[in-house]
Amino acid sequence: MLFTELDLHEEVLSGIETAGFEECTEVQERAIPPAMQGRDLKVQSQTGSGKTAAFLLPVFHRYVTGQIVPEHKTLVIAPTRELADQIYQEAKLLGSSTRLRFAVCYGGVGYHKQEKELNDDPQVIIGTPGRLMDHAKSGRIKFEQFGVLIIDEADRMFDMGFYPDVRWMVSRMPGTDVRQTMLFSATLSVKVMNLAWEYMREPVEITVAAEQITVETIKQAVYHVSKKEKIPFLFGLLEREKPKSCIIFTNTKRGAEEVSRRLSRKGYTSEFIMGDLPQSKRSAIIKRVKRGDLPVLVATDVAARGLHVDDLEMVINFDVPEDPENYVHRIGRTARAGKSGRAFMLACERFVLGLPAIEDYIKQKIPVEPVSEDMLIADSGHSGQERDSRRGGARSSDSRGGGRARRDHGERRGGTGRNARDSRPPEVSRSENGARAGEQSAAKPAAGASRKPAAVGTDKQGRVKDTARAQKPAGSKPDSRGDRGRKRREPPKAAAAPTAASSEAERLAYYRSKYGEDFVLKEKVSGDEIASVGKKRSSRKGVRTLLDRLLGR
């Protein structure tokens, strides 16, 4: 069914034309008519089936036709910020001809831009549960104002633990007699069914089976190439197949732009589309594709959704898709209406781990074809693109190892490594005044003074060293630490300690020389001397006692 067959407002149809959509997907064909009437929906549909347009287009239609009063806003809850931003970009594209305003709220970024959009009083707000609740607590979002609620990928959201948050938000919204609720989920789990039963009013149930592809009419093949060989092999593949129409899919926006630029420089008529491409440019590119004026289109999965090209001959997966469902959506664009098609995939070291999941999803092994040298056509216009041998080739500078790029098949800059250096020592040239060639000496040497040329040798580890740095200039003071001919002054030897056999005189002499005091044997001290010492001790004790009393100790 065509979108023009639906009773959508002209402003909404204009946005659909800007996006390049013509035919409805199954979920769009079945969900848009009841949603336009304000009915609640409970839809079971896989990711990538076109459900974003299925819930946005009827909401836009109801706004521009006045079925939704201006004071009632629309809230779209998504589980991840990537999905929230994707819905936001598609809403701006499909609603480009309306006067509706949009805002997106998700975590991981600052609040300033989001607060600015919320202050503009948008009719449609898209966000993740956590950030939506943050804005609600600050008073910038009031849940009682929402007349339309859309929950996308409900099963995934509840698996991530957002079930209590969703219930908290829905409980603060108007009742089911006022609010329209649309719930989309890949599976109808118990929590999804409970939420539908509690917060929906006689919802229309829609189940869309997963897309099945007829592999018999599609020639599939996978080529295992390195990341550095992907562009040269892409040139060779296009040269061999010579398709009249081809879509090349990449996993990133930057990758789509780079591939298209390299193709254009090689002489191919190529353009790229991505989610944040200006609407006028996107519309012009899609029209060229449909007219057959643009044989090669490079796109990301998000940008190519809803894009249908009649008689598309070939699809090239420049990157292995990270989601197995995206592989089905990509190659399903060829071999339509019983026609044959070709689908090729380039598996590099970065994305090859996603290949087994794809083969499990489609329940078959994708044939592997060899990569021959004649299929690698060098990109002459790219200075950094060099074709290396498939065996033992150097790693590119943009590989995931994080190391520096090597030149000449693994040779390091300035040599191939410490152990593989030339055994001959490097020749060090010096000028007449002793400085190295090409350097200016800070001070001129004294007249008649000359320096010997640098002696070059190696240390124990085999590293080259310049022994001239260790040489002492003429006239310098000798190093006492290195002057072995000079006698060291030895300290005087101490007298030997007395032993048990030593006499009293020897013992007294030893202690006098050691401590510098006169010592007397204990038994030779007179009684008067002992009494004198006792008096001194008692007097000191009395003084100490008197001081303690005076000081109050």
pLDDT tens for residues 181-220?
999 987 778 888 888 888 899 999 999 876 565 566 788 9
Residue 498, domain member (yes or no): no
Q: What is the mean pLDDT of the chain?
A: 77
CATH number, residue 55 = 3.40.50.300
Does 422 fall in a domain? no
The verdict on residue 454 lying in a domain is no
Are residue 233 and residue 186 in the same domain, yes or no? no
Point out the least confidently predicted range of 92-101, 167-176, 445-454.
445-454
Question: In the chain, helix, strand, coil percent, each to 5?
Answer: 40, 15, 50
Please name which of 347, 394, 395 lies closest in space to residue 230, comparing C-alpha atoms: 347
pLDDT greater at residue 322 or residue 317? 317
pLDDT of residue 135: 95
Q: Residue 406 burial (CB < 10 Å; 0-12/13-18/19+)? A: middle
Domain-located, residue 181 = yes
Residue 185's beta-bridge partner residues?
44
Is 203 in the same domain as 231?
Answer: no
CA distance 90 to 30: 20
Residue 136 lies in a domain: yes
Tell me, what amino acid is at 163?
Y
The verdict on 98 and 131 lying in the same domain is yes
For residues 346 and 235, membership in a common domain is answered with yes
C-alpha–C-alpha distance, residues 435 and 2, integer Å: 84
Between 520 and 387, residue with greater pLDDT: 520
User: Length of the chain, please?
Assistant: 553
Domain-located, residue 203:
yes
Residue 229 has pLDDT above 70, yes or no: yes
Higher pLDDT, 489 or 316: 316
Say yes or no: 222 and 145 in one domain. Answer: no
Of the candidates 292, 296, 321, 312, the one whose C-alpha atom is nearest the C-alpha of residue 235 is: 296
Domain assignment present for residue 34? The answer is yes
Residue 392 has what pLDDT?
39
User: Which pLDDT score is estimated for 387?
Assistant: 40
Q: Are residues 84 and 45 in the same domain?
A: yes
Same domain flag for 64 and 117? yes
Say whether 167 sits in a helix, a strand or coil: helix
pTM, rounded to two decimals:
0.52
Q: What is the DSSP letter of 481?
A: T
Q: 253 and 274 in contact (C-beta within 8 Å)?
A: yes
Burial 478-513 (b: 16+ CB within 10 A, else e): eeeeeeeeeeeeeeeeeeeeeeeeeeeeeebebeee
Give yes or no for a contact between 181 and 200, defined as CB atoms under 8 angstroms apart.
yes
User: Tokens standing for 286?
Assistant: 């899609």
In this structure, are 166 and 105 located in the same domain?
Answer: yes
Q: For residues 383 and 413, what is the distance between their CA atoms, to the nearest angstrom?
A: 18
pLDDT-based confidence at residue 492 (cuts at 50, 70, 90): low
Domain membership flag for residue 478:
no
Looking at residue 58, its pLDDT comes to 96
Query: Residue 437: is its pLDDT beyond 50?
Result: no
pLDDT winner (highest mean) among 312-316, 394-398, 472-476, 500-504? 312-316
pLDDT at position 194: 85
Identify which of 118, 121, 119 has the alpha carbon closest to the alpha carbon of residue 132: 118
Q: Tens digit of pLDDT for each residue in 257-308?
A: 999 999 999 999 999 988 677 767 877 888 888 888 899 999 987 666 656 6
**Which range of residues forms the domain containing residue 540?**
504-550
Residue 320 has pLDDT above 90, yes or no: yes
Evaluate if residue 372 carries a pLDDT over 60: yes
Residue 98: the pLDDT is: 93
How many distinct structural domains can be found in the chain? 3
The residue from 184, 207, 230 where one domain ends is 207
Which of 315, 347, 375 finishes a domain? Answer: 375
- Do 251 and 366 fall within a single domain? yes
Whether 242 and 303 map to the same domain: the answer is yes
Please say whether the beta carbons of 236 and 376 come within 8 A.
yes
538 pLDDT exceeds 70? no
Which residue in this structure is represented by tokens 């292995």?
Answer: 320
pLDDT tier for residue 158 given thresholds of 50, 70 and 90: confident
- Helix, strand or coil, per DSSP, at residue 332: coil
Cα–Cα distance for residue pair 119/104, rounded to 1 Å: 12
Q: Which of 178, 207, 236 is where one domain is finished?
A: 207
Residues 9 and 88 in one domain: yes
Radius of gyration of the CA atoms of the chain, in A = 43
- 440-478 pLDDT, tens digit per residue, is 444 444 444 444 444 445 454 444 444 444 444 444 444
| Pair 74, 149 in one domain | yes
Provide, rounded to the nearest whole percent, the portion of the chain with pLDDT above 90: 41
More confident residue, 47 or 493: 47
